[in-house]
Structure 1
Amino acid sequence: MTTTLDVFRAEVAQWMHEHLRGEFEPLRGAGGVGDEHYDPALGKRWEQELARGGWVGIGWPEAHGGRGLPLLHQVVFHEEYVRVGGPGRIGHIGETLLAPTLIEFGSAEQQQRFLPGIRNGTQYWAQGYSEPNAGSDLANVQTRARRVGDEWAIDGQKVWTSWAKESDWIFVLARCEPGSQRHQGLVLLLVPLAQPGVTIRPIRQMTGVPEFNEVFFDDARTEASLHLGAPGAGWRVAMALLGFERGVSTLGQQAQFEREMQILLAVARANGAAGDALLRERLSHSALTLRAIRFNALRVLAGTEGAREALIAKYAWSNWRRDFGVLAADVLGAAADRIDDDPAAQTLRRIWLASRADTIYAGANEIQLNLIAERALGMPR
């Protein structure tokens, strides 16, 4: 029996097969800006192609330019997008993080100004949260913002800023009340990057690609009205934005992990590693753990479970992928240390190197365990 979801899945697959070709064929299966073969300019043209097809903002309310599709349709889109070979999304931060935050906290003028550019794939955003002394401990931010006439003036530094070099705007968590500490006195500002007060320095990773950047603000300016939520209440807005980061797009992330798993299994069969009993056991355990992570994400999205299930998600997937990177290197054997033109081996080597950071960014393991202990288990600080 064919369901409406089956029809929708076929629609996504057909559109992808028809459009992820020709000019866009080099993007097939590409991981995104962190992939050494990824062309950001082509990635932006792909975002605009997706927008023309109606695939950007599919879960946004129709009143804000979206399609208002229900949750299950969004899950199907993200999974089918990856299954067909859709590349990493350079518009991800704008579409899945900032846009829902604008819809919840932004003024009508802010929504009308910024949502169309995100929806059309013509405006790109970076996330200005982490600082040298405020990474996992985000409440320690020291970047300052002060009112100067009809503008905000910003001084400070952000680091590990994904895709800043390719972005037009950045949302910046800054301290706007002198003498305030921790979660108090913060503001979330929308700041243009193309101005004299902003300096962007790419950070080259061990993979050879500068996916991340340092961003310096030296009397950088933005309009007085470009704050989300009330000045001083920025922590609440910043945490709501991180909540959207844990949303339905995580299913797309897990679909990408599943694609990587299939690549690893194919390599293990081809080079004989699957014949090793210990490696075969590790491969089976990795595949089963990934399935459990997916089921946990589905029950969280379904709203049938509470905060405990949501709080374990980042800790679970980041540790899984770190271990998956080690497993990939062991399956490759001597080829893990070699440079060659084998696409599968290149993918697995990149995972091995890049996955070392998974348990650090977006909340280090130690921070995640504290959150689980305090918020899920009710243990004292």
Structure 2
Amino acid sequence: MDDRARMILQAIVNSYVEICEPVGSKYLVDKYNLNLSSATVRNVMSWLEEEGYLEKPHTSAGRVPSDKGYRAYVNNLSYLPLVPLKKQAEFRDYLDQRIDEASDLIIRAADFLSEQTAFVSIALSPDYSSASIQQLKILMIEPGSALVVVVIQAGIVHDRLIRVSELLDADQLNRIGNAVEHAVKGKALNDITLVMVTAAAEDTDIPETLLKQVAYETYTSIKQMDNLDVYIDGLHRLLGQPEFQDIDKAQRFFHAINKPKIVAGYMSDIQREEESRQTEERQTDESDSALSIDEQLTETVGQKKDAYMLRIGQEIALQGLEDMSFISTVYRFSGKISGQLAVIGPERMRYGEIISQIQFINRILSETSEELERER
């Protein structure tokens, strides 16, 4: 694609995002003061259509972008607009409200992202499977009831109320907790087994008949931290989009999005694909020792720009979402623990602005999580 075709495609996408109507050559010439005749623009548009970048609705003389057109548009974004300082301040203020848990942080970020984009946001809770345990306590609440408190990497806390034998007192529960903590401290969640927890509890001089239930409930409390939670916000906002006046399209979308575990699985697949791609690129870069300084700088900038994952239209392998666009980013706590934050909306979206917003929120999430960890 030459520069002229690229410029006209960019103008068509920008116009269609704004007016949600097929775009004609005269409209482009008038709006953008193109130093080209309508006939020349029509010829370029015809070429773009032949190459699959544009589509022509049956009822209109204008053109609309295709999946391929949107993809070319995004791939050729020369820069991403900065998030306005006012919006940055609003988000920081929003997170400055008291937050005690990482889950609260993620939910607030998803709420804010949906509000700012007017689209659906999805947040996947962090994958804690590789996170190591820092503390574990078993606290008596009342006879027959106790609280298991687990603290993992990044200062993330999970507590769970459990039933225990009424014959156990606070001192015994504390000793069991200390024994289990000694056994599991520093170990990753996915390396901890019921046998490990039970053996640690049995090292105390407490009768075995009183230990089994406590050991099982403690193990369950640990493993519950590895459950994947899905938070979806902003479904109502899509109802105002012109694309959702098509009832069949709206029904297909809501049917798909109401299966959060399937959506979460798809997001995890995307993340694995992206991490695999980045690993291959790093290996390629390391094997090419002839990169100039300018090329190395370009690589660095590119990595920052690519801190998001994007699927457009038919690239989305989920039935019901084939007419949508899906932009996600991987956030990280303590460098290792990761989850995802995503936006889903019509293909007709302001890609540059939304990519900038999701990258900004990602960065602030990392900063805020580090602050939470330091405070613990």
Normalised by the length of structure 2, the TM-score is 0.26
The higher radius of gyration belongs to: 2
Q: Which has the higher contact order (CA 8 A, sep 6+)?
A: 2
Normalised by the length of structure 1, the TM-score is 0.25
